[in-house]
Amino acid sequence: MRTGVNPLIVGNWKMYKTRDESVAFVSALPDALPEDPPGVWIAPSFTSIHAAAEAAEGSSIVIGAQNMWFEDNGAFTGEISGRMLVDAGAQFVILGHSERRQLFHESNELVQAKVKKALAVGLKVIVCVGETDAEREQGKAFEVLETQIKACLAQIEPDESTIVLAYEPVWAIGTGKAATPEMAQEMHRHCREVLKKVWGGKISEKILILYGGSVKTDNAPFLLKQPDIDGLLIGGASLSLENFSKIINDSSILVSESKRMSGL
């Protein structure tokens, strides 16, 4: 992570945990956090957002959502709007996750429309990008990331306080595979270079870029030591209070060590 940057640790619970399970987890997590924790965001299922947000009140934990539609209202059976998420207590939304792209065939253009609407209704946004195994094998990883970033952020006003980028290699999602810290750093560096093309150098250095892809307790510290990895988007490991809190505590230790070494 970069000197002076407070890391962001995000739990994406996907289609796991009932409302009661979510409340129990969110209620217990503060006691497992360090005294000066990094940013901690959790995206439970839609049905648990309101209850989880209530359970998180008074703590540093931020509750968000895993997806949304780009219209405020309408005949969109099964969808949920940004206004509804805000009303339920969500403060951020994850958009363009690889599972949405792969399983539900979401295009860059659709993700861009969602990003634009999410920001308009006051949600912070985590924009996900990443290449498939085939695209990496064909040597197209850099090209794919540049296309995704430029398309998903087209006509979006840059704001480091509301936009987070997440690099998640599709081949490492739920497979047990994970990019080595060096591989992840290379891709994060490329993402930041693309952001410079889109928004300029000054803002691109302020945007947080997270790594997501089979993050575990044993590889998280090594990933966070990389200079362009500002945090983690965690799936399976975030479902365990023990594992999630360990990753958060380890990141806090790394921040303290970084400050000490830099004389801050």
Cite the active site residues: 97, 168
Q: How far lies 9's CA from each of 31, 43, 155, 178, in Å?
A: 16, 11, 27, 17
CA proximity to 231, closest of 169, 186, 188: 188
Distance CA 75, CA 242 (A): 42
Long-range contacts at 19-28 (CB < 8 A, ≥ 24 apart) = 19/47, 19/48, 19/51, 19/52, 21/48, 22/48, 22/51, 22/52, 22/55, 23/48, 23/51, 23/52, 23/54, 23/55, 25/241, 26/52, 26/55, 26/56, 26/59, 26/61, 26/63, 27/55, 28/241
